[in-house]
Amino acid sequence: MNFQPQIALLDIDLPTMNGYELVTHLRATALLSACRFIAVTGNADEMDRRESEAAGFYRHLVKPFGEAALFEVVDCDDSGPNCAPPQGWSVG
C-alpha cells in the first residue's frame, strides 16, 4: 500500500528549494496529485497569497497561526463554512 496524504503543510521559506518549487514537484507525483497542499509562511501580503495560489497551494496560512485557523483549512472544503475541530480538541 502506498502512502497518499490528503493534506500537507509546506513552509515557503526553505533553504535549498522554496515551497513554491517544492509544491510544483510534489504535484507532479501521481501519489500526491489529490493532496491539498497548504502554504505556511510569515509572508502575509496579497502578492504572496497570489503566488501561493499560482504555485498550486490549496490555502495560505500566515505564521503565527492558532488552532482555529489550522482547523479551518484542514477540516473544510470549498462547499461551506461549517467547520469544527475534531472531537476532543479545543480551540481557544
The predicted-structure confidence for 62-72, as pLDDT tens digits, reads as follows 999 988 888 88
Round to whole Å and give the CA distance between 80 and 65. 21
pLDDT digits (tens, 9 = 90+) for 28-70: 888 888 888 999 999 888 999 999 999 989 889 999 998 888 8
Three-class SS of residue 61?
strand
Q: Which amino acid is at 48?
A: D
Q: Shortest CA distance to 63 belongs to which of 38, 90, 37, 88?
A: 38
**Which of the following CATH numbers is that of domain 7-75: 3.40.50.2300, 2.60.40.790, 3.30.499.10, 3.30.300.30?**
3.40.50.2300
Boundaries of every domain in the chain: 7-75
Q: Shortest CA distance to 40 belongs to which of 70, 9, 15?
A: 9
Round to whole Å and give the CA distance between 12 and 2. 26
